[in-house]
């Protein structure tokens, strides 16, 4: 008699929470090894050479359906945008970065609901997709950035490597988002006067707490700009970005903008979860711990700027019009300066309008490129007076690096 039949791969993948559609896609793209890699969360090596990694490395599984070709594939959970693909202010969906802590989920909106619960919700409610769509929506332009954007610079610029996906400068995008203010949903549910914290919970079954989640204070939840988003850039929210419904918490680290939203828990107490105790926490000598967190909880983003160029860039000698993007959670960008002498002297770049209140800004300047190897740095200042600092104290998980980035440019 032969050996026992191996268990069908589909059965194994299904038990690990994989959808049939994704299973078939992985199988066709990378065979059984791709399916297994996705099931077991195997990581592929990071790729820092931004200009030559258009597709997923061989044998690795891309846990998304979006075409990875325009992106830098950092590992199986991240598609990093190439800012050089962009010229306008709105990032098209095909160029918008993806960051998944587990995998992109296939959610059937007809079979989905959003629960509003917690000890500060006297009578819990559930909203269907149609219920959400029937509420009044607003549209705003806002940038969305991963807390780990620029993480590779802790190593490349300061010589001290941080843990985690070694993002360059492309874990950020700027889109128009259409959604219902979270405040209206909380109003519809009816929350008690003693409510202080709101936890947003996603559907990811693979994440450590079964549901990727983040807590925000009531005031941020009631901010009219904090949305439950069902539309992106004028179309239905795509699956990789959280269909059918995601949170958008402008100005806060990207991990707060929970995708594939399932549950909102309102409490009269502060709530703690992995994403405000050990993850998305600045851990290091300069960051005293707060509450139950191991360090300082990462909440709002910091002011940053980056050139829209490959890393490293190669240009011909002569005059170039270089461009890039700057953004701050604290207000519009007031100025961007640039330097080609390691920050000894700075010149003013042009800001290309119009600037949305919560969006990013494009800047441009003309550079007469001499032959040889150079670095060009940019430094933004916002309307509140914040400027990118010369030095950011190290934190173990590499969040919120916002020193001016020395962008390598070879003139050939
Ligand atoms: N449910 C869920 N929401 C999530 C995540 C996730 O893994 N699961 N990743 C977060 C992180 S770390 C970031 S930076 C943003 C990225 O949003 P995007 O993939 O739409 O660009 O989504 C956030 N929301
Ligand atoms: Mo993130």
Question: Mutation test of ligand 1: which of 101, 106, 250 has the most ligand atoms closer than 8 Å to its C-beta?
Answer: 101
* Same domain as 399, residue 256: no
Q: Which residues of 304-337 are buried (b: 16+ CB within 10 A; e: fewer)?
A: bbbbbbbbebebeeeebebbbbbbbbebbbbbbb
**pLDDT tens, position by position, 275-312:** 999 999 999 999 999 999 999 999 999 999 999 999 99
* Same domain as 248, residue 114: yes
* Same domain as 258, residue 156: yes
The closest-lying atom of ligand 1 relative to the alpha carbon of residue 147 is 14
Task: Indicate which ligand has the atom closest to the C-alpha of 148.
Answer: 2
pLDDT of residue 1: 37
Domain end residue (candidates: 62, 81, 96): 62
Is 50 exceeded by the pLDDT of residue 42? no
- Give a yes or no: residue 91 inside a domain: no
DSSP 359: S
Is 80 exceeded by the pLDDT of residue 249? yes
Q: How far, in Å, is the centroid of ligand 1 from the Cα of 316?
A: 38
- Give a yes or no: residue 73 inside a domain: no
* Same domain as 316, residue 276: no
Residues with CB under 6 A from ligand 1: 96-102, 144, 146, 202, 204, 212, 241, 254-255, 257-260
CATH number at residue 146: 3.90.420.10
% of the chain surpassing 90 pLDDT: 77
pLDDT of residue 16: 67
- Give a yes or no: residue 101 inside a domain: no
- Give a yes or no: residue 68 inside a domain: no
Q: How far, in Å, is the centroid of ligand 1 from the Cα of 267?
A: 23
How confident is residue 233, by pLDDT bands cut at 50, 70 and 90? very high
- Give a yes or no: residue 121 inside a domain: yes
Considering only residues 388 and 274, tell me which one the structure prediction assigns the higher pLDDT.
Answer: 388
CA distances from 44 to 38, 77, 123 (A): 11, 10, 46
The closest-lying atom of ligand 1 relative to the alpha carbon of residue 242 is 20
Is 60 exceeded by the pLDDT of residue 378? yes
* Same domain as 153, residue 291: yes
- Give a yes or no: residue 263 inside a domain: yes
Is 90 exceeded by the pLDDT of residue 95? yes
* Same domain as 317, residue 376: yes
Per-residue pLDDT, averaged over 365-389, amounts to: 96
DSSP 207: S
- Give a yes or no: residue 239 inside a domain: yes
Burial (CB < 10 A; 0-12, 13-18, 19+), residue 295, is: buried
Peptide bond into 317 cis (omega under 30): no
Is 80 exceeded by the pLDDT of residue 39? no
* Same domain as 363, residue 287: no
pTM of the model: 0.86
* Same domain as 129, residue 201: yes
* Same domain as 280, residue 132: yes
* Residues 241 and 96 sit within 8 Å (Cβ to Cβ): yes
Per-residue pLDDT, averaged over 371-392, amounts to: 97
How confident is residue 10, by pLDDT bands cut at 50, 70 and 90? low
* Residues 146 and 379 sit within 8 Å (Cβ to Cβ): no
* Same domain as 254, residue 339: no
* Same domain as 238, residue 285: yes
* Same domain as 249, residue 179: yes
Is 70 exceeded by the pLDDT of residue 47? no
Is 80 exceeded by the pLDDT of residue 404? yes
Q: How far, in Å, is the centroid of ligand 2 from the Cα of 75?
A: 13
β-pair type (172-181, 246-248):
unpaired
The parent domain of residue 184 ranges over: 109-297
Q: How far, in Å, is the centroid of ligand 1 from the Cα of 389?
A: 27
pLDDT of residue 19: 65
Is 60 exceeded by the pLDDT of residue 62? no
Q: How many domains does the chain have?
A: 3
- Give a yes or no: residue 76 inside a domain: no
Domain end residue (candidates: 269, 297, 325): 297
**pLDDT tens, position by position, 177-228:** 999 999 999 999 999 999 999 999 999 887 777 899 999 999 999 999 999 9
> Closest Cα to atom 19, ligand 1: which residue?
98
Is 70 exceeded by the pLDDT of residue 56? no
């Amino acid at each position: 008699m032969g050996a026992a039949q191996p268990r069908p791969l589909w059965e194994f993948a299904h038990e690990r929470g994989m959808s049939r559609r994704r299973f078939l896609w992985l199988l066709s793209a990378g065979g059984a090894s791709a399916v297994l890699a996705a099931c077991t969360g195997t990581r592929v090596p990071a790729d820092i050479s931004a200009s030559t990694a258009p597709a997923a490395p061989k044998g690795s599984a891309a846990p998304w359906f979006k075409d990875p070709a325009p992106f830098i594939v950092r590992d199986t959970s991240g598609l990093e945008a190439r800012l050089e693909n962009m010229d306008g202010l709105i990032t098209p969906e095909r160029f918008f970065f993806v960051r998944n802590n587990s995998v992109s989920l296939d959610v059937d909106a007809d079979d989905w609901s959003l629960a509003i619960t917690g000890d500060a919700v006297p009578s819990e409610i559930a909203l269907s997709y149609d219920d959400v769509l029937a509420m009044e929506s607003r549209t705003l332009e806002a940038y969305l950035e991963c807390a780990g954007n620029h993480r590779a610079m802790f190593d490349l610029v300061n010589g001290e490597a941080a843990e985690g996906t070694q993002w360059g400068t492309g874990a950020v995008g700027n889109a128009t988002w259409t959604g219902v203010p979270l405040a209206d949903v909380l109003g519809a549910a009816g929350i008690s006067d003693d409510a202080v914290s709101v936890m947003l919970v996603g559907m990811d079954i693979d994440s450590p707490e079964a549901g990727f989640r983040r807590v925000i204070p009531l005031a941020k939840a009631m901010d009219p700009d904090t949305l439950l988003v069902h539309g992106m850039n004028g179309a239905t929210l795509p699956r990789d970005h959280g269909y059918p419904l995601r949170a958008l918490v402008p100005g806060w680290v990207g991990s707060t903008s929970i995708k594939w939203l399932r549950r909102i828990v309102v409490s009269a107490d502060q709530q703690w979860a992995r994403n405000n105790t050990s993850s998305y926490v600045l851990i290091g000598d300069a960051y005293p711990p707060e509450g139950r967190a191991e360090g300082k909880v990462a909440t709002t983003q910091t002011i940053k700027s980056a050139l829209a160029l490959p890393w490293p860039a190669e240009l011909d000698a002569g005059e170039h019009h270089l461009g890039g993007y700057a953004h701050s959670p604290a207000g519009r960008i007031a100025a961007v300066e640039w330097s080609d002498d390691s920050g000894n002297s700075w010149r003013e770049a042009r800001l290309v309008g119009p600037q949305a209140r919560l969006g990013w800004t494009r800047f441009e300047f003309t550079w007469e490129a001499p032959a040889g190897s150079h670095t060009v740095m940019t430094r933004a200042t916002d309307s509140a007076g914040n400027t990118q600092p010369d030095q950011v104290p190290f934190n173990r998980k590499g969040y919120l690096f916002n020193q001016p980035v020395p962008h390598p440019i070879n003139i050939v």
